[in-house]
A and B are shown apart, each in its own frame.
Chain A
Amino acid sequence: MRSIQVCGAGRAGDGTNTNISMLGQVLKDLGAWAFVWREEVYSNIQTRDTAFGLRAADVPVYGPDDEFDILEAFDQGAFVDWTGEGRVPPLARLRKGGIVLYDSSPRLEYPNAGHEVRPEQVEAELKAREARLFGLPMGRMAKEQFGNYIVRGTIALGVLAHMLGLPEEAFARRFVRIFGEGSDLFRLNLEAFRAGLEYARAEGWELPDLRLPLTPREDDERQLLLGNEAVALGSIVAGCRFYAGYPITPASEVLEYMAEKLPSVGGVVVQADSEMAAAHHVIGGSVAGARAMTATSGPGFSLMQEAISAAGMTETPVVIVVSQRGGPATGLPTKVGQEDLNETVFGGHGDFARIVLAPTEPEDAFYMMEKAFNLADRYQCPVFVIYDQMFAQSTYTTPPLNPSRFTIDRGKVVAAPANGHNGRYRRYALTEDGISPRAFPGMPGIHTIYVNTNEHTEEGYITEEMVVRKAMVEKRVVKRMQLIVRDRDLPSPVVHGPADAPIGFIGYGSVYGPVLEAVQRLAEKGQKAKFMALRTIWPFPGREVRRFVDSCRVVYVVEYSATAQLKGLVQREATGPMPRKLRSVLRYDGRPMTPGYVLQSL
């Protein structure tokens, strides 16, 4: 594999997101597999340090590497922890011999003065890293030549294009897509880009060692999308036509995408007044017959627990996306965590059937949404799709996605107008497999669909009678989970690495990329390791996990949780305590896992 990694570091409002994203788009257009993530974003809109990361490789990549090859510094925060809060500035991750491209003009626009980039303040560190410095007065050029400070980022793109040998046409094509052919913004950006390019050419700045060998593909149908977008897109193709949500990071992109697109396929999106309302709207939408979904994160997920219990009791299919961030409470709104696994697997009061799916990367997520909706309808229970901020808000390059691979299975739905005594439909009719055919209000001739959150009879009326209660619990939970466990649509764990490897890793969500690369790096050093990525978390794939653990000498469960929630599940459902064999690689500082972080924790 060959990859380069770039960090754009500035302050919120400096356009680092645009700068890094555009570079990623161009590299992808030129044939690379690009991955863009939020290296450092705070839960406010202005004034804090902001850094975005880009990794581009000649093979698919699913996460950041440890070190940056190039650091674009638009603000002194790229170099120093100016607040003294214990922040680790991006410079700390610049590789030996790495490139620093910085704005050598004073800060010309910014509410907080004193943030011009001054490499001399960190001279010793730059020297120790043998950093190669390239300074150009981007700010002054932007202001004086273009009258627009924000094009600093575009000027930097021009410089990088020259250094890395990236063709101007590739940038121009993206500018057209983003700003519109012939628009003022298009011209402005193209000119700023050229100014940067010319500057670098005049200075003779070249970085042949950092050029990726790239060949653009014909009819490149690979996708470039956020994890959240892959989930939203997959759910639309899976037939979701009802979405209710309440904005929350890092799940808002699902709401936003659905709000923009769902009406165009006959669906509806309602921005609810809380997650409590959202989850109940979704139950209503589903009872009415629509495939219905919501997405949220920790605080909102807590508010949904009551509704989740209701979906379980009423046997209402709902899909709930849990995009985790650091907790508890408000926690780290914009940063990664995996602390809500227990709440997802065990949350909601009472016993009921549920399914928890966990995509490893966006391609997986896209197709997994088909399973999520089909399973929900087939087993008439809540289905959770759980992941985390790094997956949700990172942009991945995926192979082409094919909607024709989806099939829609709505499970048991009544064919004839009635299924019970006296021609009366019974919502909770006791059947062989415990699943009662659904009917939807408005179906001609059926006026007895009685859905009830109280314990109920077959007709749906309240009962507390022992015999009925027992039969209903068995139908709803016991038999249902037995059926679910055997379903071939449950995504099975994927294992990477040689079968006889003595070192094992287990993880889910965005640890996928970093652990995969950790395993590869161990192999390069002659150490055999393998990795089991879980894709269904409930029902827990106990047999597969037990076999995997049995085949290893030591197993590391890698997760973003101080209390090792996933390891706890492994122990509870598969292996028992195994204190010496089962170990943890934990990260709970809100920062992304990297291959080096995993290896250094062993």
Chain B
Amino acid sequence: MAVYTPEKPLTAAEITGPGAWWCSGCGDFGVTAAFKDVLVTLVNELGVPLERVFVMSGIGCSSKEPEMLRLNAYHGQHGRSIPVAMGVALANPNLVVVDFGGDGDSYAIGMEHFVHACIKNVNMTLIVMNNQVYGLTRGQASPTGHLGLKTSSTPEGKKVRPVNPLKLAIAAGAAFVGRGVSWKKKELAELMLRAIQTKGFSLLDVFSPCVTYHREPGYRGSGAIVDWYRLNYVLDIQEAWREMRDQVFSEEERAHLPSDYDPTSPDAALYALRLIEEAAKMGREVTGLLLVNESAPTLEEALGVSPERAPALADISVEGNLERYRKLLAELR
């Protein structure tokens, strides 16, 4: 039985699986590396027993995540990991549930579940490896693909507008909304840890470029797509806050605004939405920690389950419940 102590800490090797699924250079490697760092921190420094970590995924290149790990996990069907994760989290609130999805997985076929998971505020973390394409089915456009993106299913460039998952998550009431990038491991790991520690539903959307199918004019060769993201696409929320204050907020408002963007501010949802809108006008997507708000009850709290009151651990013996059962029977006579 594995017990991790300061003398015998958990190492990344112990939670590394046999999976070899991704093209070299795929952003998903960065996500995995960050996640392993987070796990090591959780177990070695924060005292979370490893057996309480539960990883979920759907179907896609990104959803191969549990294959890259050696952890309690459920590898589900396309778009359906979220409702399974919700079931796990509700049945045993002692577990730390982290669900990995792709942009097709979570924002197309799984959209119903994504939005409702935000609304219901189930205590889990969803990490979406957003690459604007369907990697596993060879590169068709995904719902996050930007206008004009040329793929095998959009030969003339994408004409249907993209979804913005951050706006959706904010509007639907997620407790944590953030966006990381796969090429900055340390920042990504920090976002992940914060997401996991947040009580309620956490969405961490991660730009995790597909080096094989995501093509942008003028960017060729390996690593080029990361450059495209860096140079053309992303905008850090703090930077956006500093640079766009003048455009977004009136002078009167500015007088009361802090100098740094504060994701825990009660107004963070509104500020974040305005910054996202403003960035979009320049063809940019914000990154960083947008929102942390733990004020709403979680689904677990709403339904009366807790680590001490976990349905999966409830006494189901007939003897232990006989009096209650007899009462139920007496009511139906």
Chain A residues at the B interface, C-beta cutoff of 8 Å: 220-225, 229, 233, 236-237, 239, 241-242, 244, 261, 263-270, 272-274, 276-278, 280-292, 306-307, 309-310, 314, 401, 403-404, 406-408, 417-418, 423, 440-454, 460-462
* Contact status B75-A454, CB under 8 Å: yes
Closest 9 CB pairs of A and B: A284-B87, A239-B316, A445-B1, A266-B314, A280-B83, A288-B91, A289-B312, A281-B87, A285-B91
Interface of A is mostly: mixed
The number of residue pairs between A and B whose CB atoms lie closer than 8 Å in the complex comes to: 215
* Contact status A288-B116, CB under 8 Å: no
A170 and B313 alpha carbons, distance in the complex (Å): 44
CB-nearest residue of chain A to B309: A266
Q: In B62-119, which residues have CB < 8 Å from any A CB?
A: 64, 66-67, 70-77, 80, 83-92, 94-95, 112-113, 116
* Contact status A442-B322, CB under 8 Å: no
Nearest-Cβ distance from residue A98 to partner chain B, whole angstroms: 30
Known: A281-B86, A447-B15; 17 extra A-B contacts, CB below 8 A, are A237-B321, A239-B316, A268-B305, A270-B86, A270-B90, A278-B83, A289-B91, A290-B92, A408-B316, A442-B95, A445-B1, A445-B2, A447-B70, A447-B71, A452-B75, A453-B77, A461-B67
Known: A274-B112, A288-B312, A451-B74. A441 touches B51 (CB 8 A): yes
Known: A269-B303, A272-B83. A442 touches B52 (CB 8 A): yes
Q: In B313-332, which residues have CB < 8 Å from any A CB?
A: 313-318, 321-322, 324-326, 328-329, 332
A417 and B89 alpha carbons, distance in the complex (Å): 22
* Contact status B1-A444, CB under 8 Å: yes
CB-nearest residue of chain B to A289: B312
- Complex contacts, B67 vs chain A, CB 8 Å: 461-462
Partner of B116 from the list A239, A277, A403, A447 (CB cut-off 8 Å) is A277
Q: In B192-207, which residues have CB < 8 Å from any A CB?
A: none
Nearest-Cβ distance from residue B299 to partner chain A, whole angstroms: 7
Nearest-Cβ distance from residue B58 to partner chain A, whole angstroms: 9
Known: A450-B75, A461-B19. A444 touches B321 (CB 8 A): no
Nearest-Cβ distance from residue B166 to partner chain A, whole angstroms: 21
B6: Cβ under 8 A from any A Cβ: no
CB-nearest residue of chain B to A262: B311
Partner of A406 from the list B88, B90, B318, B326 (CB cut-off 8 Å) is B318
Nearest-Cβ distance from residue A273 to partner chain B, whole angstroms: 4
B47: Cβ under 8 A from any A Cβ: no
- Complex contacts, A277 vs chain B, CB 8 Å: 83, 86, 112-113, 116
* Contact status A404-B318, CB under 8 Å: yes
Known: A223-B333, A290-B314, A453-B77. A441 touches B84 (CB 8 A): no
B258: Cβ under 8 A from any A Cβ: no
CB-nearest residue of chain A to B53: A447
* Contact status A441-B316, CB under 8 Å: no
- Complex contacts, B332 vs chain A, CB 8 Å: 223-225, 229, 233
- Complex contacts, B18 vs chain A, CB 8 Å: 461
A403 and B322 alpha carbons, distance in the complex (Å): 7
* Contact status A447-B2, CB under 8 Å: yes
Known: A403-B322, A461-B67. A268 touches B77 (CB 8 A): no
Nearest-Cβ distance from residue A284 to partner chain B, whole angstroms: 2
A261 and B325 alpha carbons, distance in the complex (Å): 10
A274 and B112 alpha carbons, distance in the complex (Å): 9
- Complex contacts, A274 vs chain B, CB 8 Å: 112
Nearest-Cβ distance from residue B313 to partner chain A, whole angstroms: 7
Q: In B115-155, which residues have CB < 8 Å from any A CB?
A: 116
Known: A222-B333, A268-B90, A441-B51. A310 touches B83 (CB 8 A): no
CB-nearest residue of chain A to B94: A442
- Complex contacts, A309 vs chain B, CB 8 Å: 77
Identify which of B19, B318, B333 gathers the most chain A CB atoms within 10 Å of its CB: B333
Nearest-Cβ distance from residue B316 to partner chain A, whole angstroms: 3
- Complex contacts, B84 vs chain A, CB 8 Å: 280-281, 283-284, 287
Known: A241-B316, A282-B87, A310-B77. A268 touches B329 (CB 8 A): no
Q: Can you list 18 A-B contacts with CB-CB less than 8 angstroms, sorted by A residue number?
A: A223-B333, A229-B332, A237-B321, A241-B314, A242-B311, A263-B304, A277-B86, A287-B74, A288-B95, A310-B80, A404-B318, A408-B316, A441-B51, A445-B3, A447-B50, A447-B70, A447-B71, A447-B72
B162: Cβ under 8 A from any A Cβ: no
Nearest-Cβ distance from residue A274 to partner chain B, whole angstroms: 6
Nearest-Cβ distance from residue A271 to partner chain B, whole angstroms: 10
- Complex contacts, A281 vs chain B, CB 8 Å: 83-84, 86-87, 90
* Contact status A270-B299, CB under 8 Å: yes
CB-nearest residue of chain B to A449: B72
Partner of A449 from the list B73, B89, B329 (CB cut-off 8 Å) is B73
* Contact status B75-A236, CB under 8 Å: no
B9: Cβ under 8 A from any A Cβ: no
B49: Cβ under 8 A from any A Cβ: yes
Known: A268-B303, A280-B80. A441 touches B72 (CB 8 A): yes
* Contact status A237-B325, CB under 8 Å: yes
Partner of A284 from the list B53, B86, B329 (CB cut-off 8 Å) is B86
B17: Cβ under 8 A from any A Cβ: yes
A441 and B322 alpha carbons, distance in the complex (Å): 28
CB-nearest residue of chain B to A452: B75
Identify which of B15, B74, B318 gathers the most chain A CB atoms within 10 Å of its CB: B74
B1-33 vs A: 1/0 string, CB under 8 Å? Answer: 111000000000001011100000000000000
Partner of B311 from the list A222, A268, A314, A460 (CB cut-off 8 Å) is A268
- Complex contacts, A450 vs chain B, CB 8 Å: 66, 71-73, 75
A60 and B312 alpha carbons, distance in the complex (Å): 39
- Complex contacts, A272 vs chain B, CB 8 Å: 83
- Complex contacts, B315 vs chain A, CB 8 Å: 266
* Contact status A285-B70, CB under 8 Å: no
Known: A273-B112, A273-B116. A292 touches B2 (CB 8 A): no
- Complex contacts, A265 vs chain B, CB 8 Å: 314, 321, 324
Identify which of B51, B54, B84, B116 gathers the most chain A CB atoms within 10 Å of its CB: B84
Known: A277-B112, A448-B70, A450-B75. A290 touches B312 (CB 8 A): yes
Nearest-Cβ distance from residue B76 to partner chain A, whole angstroms: 6
